[in-house]
Amino acid sequence: FVPASVVPIPGFELTAGYIGSISNHQNTFNTVTLKPLINVQIAENFENISDWTLVNGFQTNRWFIGTAVANGGSKSIYISSSNYYNSYSTNASSVVHFYKDFTFPAEASNISIQFDWQSLGELGQDYMKTYLVPASVTPVAGTELSNGQIGEMLNYVPHFSTATISGLDAHAGTTKRLVFTWRNNGSAGYQPPGCIDNIRVSYNINSVDPSIPGTTKRVVFSWKNNGGGQGSQPPAAIDN
């Protein structure tokens, strides 16, 4: 890659801007404009109408979007047996979910998921989990997902903490279902149960906004032979 003002001259090698491996006289070049990376953030704070799907079925402890608890603002999504409080019935086992689909562009990088959470419950028994699964997977109330967990089990933290899940670039070019699950076993536990707020899904992509200036570079492919009378055929070719 070299500045667009640089024009290759046959018979002379370039002295700067070399990238890649040696491929032994300049013979072709093109000019491209590289757009800067921009960070895309999709945020949910539950303050307005939400498009997440809640899967509560007939479970006793269910997900509610309401004002019982929040980490900033006045609303969040939380587990409750009544909707009015972020508290649960410790003697009724429950498995409930909420989810939303996200499409990650093929060129997306640094994909990450971040959210604020709190959940006390019973150590190792009452907890939240996070999953990223194919959009064809539909969670069922009363049943935990068996695959696709990302991040750690969330349990036994009675105050808000921020979870960050990264290393998700393998999902670029796909549509995935982001699922949050609460599970409790129905034998003992401490208040409060699970609560999630301020979900942020983010990734980097090259900008396609024409108002954002890019950096114009010239891509040069060069061929050189030393004239010593030795070598193998064919000399060189570039395609695709």
Top pLDDT among 44 and 215 is at: 44
How far apart CA 65 and CA 77 sit, in angstroms, is 4
Look up tokens 């942020």; give the residue. Answer: 200
Q: What is the pLDDT of residues 18-61, one digit of tens each?
A: 455 444 444 455 555 556 688 899 999 999 999 999 999 999 99
According to the model, what pLDDT value does residue 82 have? 93
| Predicted confidence (pLDDT) per residue in 98-146, tens digit | 999 999 999 999 999 999 999 999 999 999 999 999 999 999 999 999 9
- Over residues 158-177, the pLDDT tens digits come to 999 999 999 999 999 999 99
Proportion of the chain above pLDDT 70, given as a percent: 71
Q: Encode pLDDT of 65-106 as tens digits.
A: 999 999 999 999 999 999 899 999 999 999 999 999 999 999
Whether the pLDDT of residue 63 is over 70: the answer is yes
Sequence-distant (6+) residues with CB within 8 A of 59 are 94, 95, 96, 141, 142
Whole-model pTM?
Answer: 0.75
Helices (H), the chain: none
Give residue 29's Cα distance to chain centre: 36
Do residues 201 and 113 touch, judged by C-beta distance below 8 A? yes
- pLDDT score recorded for residue 216: 47
Beta bridge partners of 132: 178
Q: How many CB atoms sit inside 10 A of residue 45's CB?
A: 18
**What pLDDT, on the 0 to 100 scale, is given for residue 12?**
47
What is the per-residue pLDDT for 232?
53
pLDDT at position 22 is 45
- pLDDT for 220 beyond 60: no
